Amino acid sequence: MTVLILTLGGSNSPPSHPTAPVSPVLLAVRHPAPTTPPTTPSPAPSASVPAPAVTAGTGPAGSLRTTGSAAVALTFDDGPWDDTPAVLDLLAQYHIKATFCMIGRQVAAHAALVRRMVAEGHTLCNHTWSHDEMLRTRPADRINAELQRTNDAIHAVVPGAAIGYFRAPGGNFSPQLVSTAAGMGMTSIYWSVDPQDWRGPGVQSIITNVLTNTRPGSIVLLHDGAGPQTVTALRTILPNLASRYTLTALPDPDSHGNA
């Protein structure tokens, strides 16, 4: 895979993505180094559609580990990026809705992709502005700025779009992160299936991990910024899962229960 892998902050944080997630994890992505941390918020966004009510789950710091129903949710982190169009094409081919956890600093340069996500019925998720894996240790104003600046960037492209979910970089949640997201109307989401496609483990490894470990209610973690292996694996994963489960974008958190 001809991509540049750059490990963002937190290399000594909790262990890398486990197959059966029980604790916060690391995440390496092929993005440029974080820009200067935001100190002032972007201009206020247009009025947005009311976000779903926030729900606590059984994941780290109360994040959601499952969908709370028999439906399976596919989630894609670290975009919008070069492989996002191919992911969207495959989702459209199989009539599947997914959830995209976007890095704020990448939104403006890929505005057309964000508009396409909304137009095609996918769910939007805040994945912070700079993908700082140590964000949970930062001051409250830095945490607030990372989340708010991302929401503002998304709303600058798709005014009025609902951003009902938040995923901490690397899954490194803390009560403060979850609380801050909740204050902005966002429910924090973790995952229950992680093929670690960001490592480039090979197409068959990604396929086998997802197909073997997905159960009713699973939240599957994938990356549209991980490189072509994920796209190739999806050609097998999507029709297989669609034949066995109802695949959905994350629904209104009110339906989750104790997820």
* Residues identified as active-site: 77, 223
Q: Report how far residue 101's alpha carbon sits from residue 157's, in angstroms, rounded to the nearest whole number.
A: 15
Calpha distance 238→90 (Å, rounded) = 8
CA separation for the pair 134, 170 (Å, rounded): 9
